[in-house]
């Protein structure tokens, strides 16, 4: 089973698009709101080197931003 974590903020449009993508493809994920969780913010920054959201961790592969192509490849979803 693939382990997916998304680091988000409530006002991020691309975060919402990412979660819609996961729902559409029946991908289970853990969401971490970096505006409410300092440890999650630190973890995200350490993994990505960025403060931009979304940051998506797919089994250790870090994707910054909503990139459907990279997500499909990381999650083995046929195009």
Domain boundaries, the chain: 4-74
Helix, strand or coil, per DSSP, at residue 12: coil
Look at 74 and 78; give whichever has higher pLDDT.
74
pTM: 0.95
Q: CB–CB of 33/40 below 8 Å?
A: yes
Q: What is the pLDDT of residue 78?
A: 86
- What does the pLDDT look like over 37-62, one tens digit per residue? 999 999 999 999 999 999 999 999 99
Q: Determine the CATH number of domain 4-74.
A: 3.40.30.10
Distances (CA, A) of 68 to 2, 24, 25, 38, 44: 17, 12, 12, 27, 20
- What does the pLDDT look like over 1-32, one tens digit per residue? 789 999 999 999 999 999 999 999 999 999 99
């Amino acid at each position: 089973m693939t382990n997916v974590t998304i680091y988000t903020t409530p006002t991020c449009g691309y975060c919402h698009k990412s979660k819609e993508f996961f729902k559409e493809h029946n991908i289970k994920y853990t969401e971490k709101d970096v505006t409410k969780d300092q440890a999650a913010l630190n973890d995200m920054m350490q993994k990505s080197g960025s403060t931009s959201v979304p940051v998506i961790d797919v089994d250790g592969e870090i994707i910054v931003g909503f990139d459907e192509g990279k997500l499909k490849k990381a999650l083995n979803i046929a195009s």
